[in-house]
């Protein structure tokens, strides 16, 4: 039933990973050296650690050719530059999850392809817009406000909301475009709504494209020139309208566009 070698082989090559990450000193030294050369005194001042532990860490890194020593000054080898850059990426990739552990534990991520987690360093400047007891619709109001200044829109829509559609139509009136990916359920609600005729008209003018996927959508993603927003469903299947991830930086928008592309590839045009 099981390939017994599988787990052993897949874990064996974690040796260097563990060497780098099971210590606090080794990654710290690599990170410091990625910015400039250091001598022992400078390390001591920066880290506030005894010379012995610093020297021990340096020797270990030198042993596997990640750093080199020249006249008492330490610097990264080219291999060390690569390791240090990968470490930085790993820390930045994990940052958004570590800062909001409960959010990620409580929400469904099944719709997000695993590949997308490999570049979450692009989301490091995101903020979580959350409603609170003083204003239960804070996050939704903020989202609609952002949407109304959106410009061209790319949206993955797993829910049907009238207020949302009204703003989208206003944007379309102003000459903006919409590329929408949704599912059968939302599409059916759209078709039965008073908004469908207008959307169809804008589609004839080339401003609207609607596509659909055949599987359950569990992400609500909006991408404009200025921002991306991402809302998720709770693990019990209910949509969480009390919180969304907002990123107003080009990196965040880049991440969202890559995610959108993955859904786009699996969608078919309906309008």
CB 218 within 8 A of CB 232: yes
Binding window for another protein (CB under 8 A); candidates: 117-125, 156-164, 169-177, 183-191: 117-125
Q: Is 232 exposed, middle or buried (0-12, 13-18, 19+ CB in 10 A)?
A: buried
Query: Could you say whether residue 85 binds another protein (CB under 8 A)?
Result: yes
C-alpha closest to that of 154 among 230, 218, 101: 230
Q: Which is nearer to another protein, 77 or 203 (CB)?
A: 77
Structure tokens of 45? 């001042």
| Residues from 39 through 68 that contact another protein (CB under 8 A) | 64-65
Name the strands in the sheet holding 208-213, side by side, starting at the edge strand that comes first in the sequence. 127-130, 243-247, 228-232, 219-223, 153-157, 178-183, 208-213, 268-269
Q: Which is nearer to another protein, 59 or 79 (CB)?
A: 79
CB of 111 to another protein, least distance (A): 12
Candidate residues 20, 147, 155, 181; the one interacting with another protein per rule CB under 8 A: 20
CB 241 within 8 A of CB 139: yes
Candidate residues 124, 164, 212, 218; the one interacting with another protein per rule CB under 8 A: 124
Structure tokens of 147? 């949407």
Binding window for another protein (CB under 8 A); candidates: 71-79, 163-171, 172-180, 258-266: 71-79
Query: Could you say whether residue 128 binds another protein (CB under 8 A)?
Result: no
- Alpha helix ranges (H) inside 50-137: 51-63, 78-99, 101-106
Binding window for another protein (CB under 8 A); candidates: 76-84, 160-168, 181-189, 201-209: 76-84
Q: Which is nearer to another protein, 56 or 138 (CB)?
A: 56
Q: CA-to-CA distance for 102 and 117, rounded, in angstroms?
A: 17
Name the strands in the sheet holding 73-76, side by side, starting at the edge strand that comes first in the sequence. 38-39, 73-76, 67-70
Q: CA-to-CA distance for 263 and 260, rounded, in angstroms?
A: 5
Candidate residues 56, 75, 91, 179; the one interacting with another protein per rule CB under 8 A: 91
CB of 70 to another protein, least distance (A): 12
Query: Could you say whether residue 89 binds another protein (CB under 8 A)?
Result: yes
Structure tokens of 161? 């909301």
Query: Could you say whether residue 8 binds another protein (CB under 8 A)?
Result: yes
Interface with another protein (CB under 8 A): 1-2, 4, 6-8, 10-11, 13-14, 16-18, 20-24, 27-28, 31-32, 64-65, 77-79, 81-83, 85-95, 97-99, 101, 104-105, 107, 109, 114, 117-121, 124
């Amino acid at each position: 039933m099981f390939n017994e070698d599988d787990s052993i082989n897949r874990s064996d090559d974690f040796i260097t990973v563990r060497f780098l990450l099971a210590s606090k000193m080794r990654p710290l030294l690599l990170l410091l050296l990625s910015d400039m050369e250091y001598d022992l005194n400078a390390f001591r001042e920066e880290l506030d650690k005894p010379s012995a532990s610093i020297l021990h860490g340096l020797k270990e890194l030198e042993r596997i050719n990640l750093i080199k020593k020249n006249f008492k000054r330490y610097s990264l080898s080219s291999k060390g530059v690569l390791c240090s850059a990968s470490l930085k990426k790993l820390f930045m990739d994990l940052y958004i999850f570590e800062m909001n552990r409960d959010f990620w534990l409580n929400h469904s991520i099944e719709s997000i392809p695993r590949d997308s987690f490999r570049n979450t360093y692009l989301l490091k400047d995101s903020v979580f817009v959350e409603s609170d007891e003083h204003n239960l619709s804070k996050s939704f109001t903020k989202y609609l406000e952002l949407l109304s200044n959106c410009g061209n829109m790319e949206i993955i829509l797993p829910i049907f909301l009238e207020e949302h559609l009204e703003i989208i139509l206003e944007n379309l009136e102003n000459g903006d475009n919409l590329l929408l990916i949704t599912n059968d359920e939302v599409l059916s609600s759209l078709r039965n709504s008073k908004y469908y005729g207008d959307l169809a008209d804008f589609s004839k003018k080339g401003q609207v494209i609607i596509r659909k996927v055949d599987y359950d959508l569990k992400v609500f993603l909006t991408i404009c020139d200025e921002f991306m927003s991402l809302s998720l469903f709770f693990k019990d299947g209910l949509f969480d309208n009390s919180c969304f991830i907002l990123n107003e930086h080009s990196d965040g928008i880049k991440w969202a566009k890559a995610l959108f592309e993955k859904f786009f590839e699996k969608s078919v045009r309906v309008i």
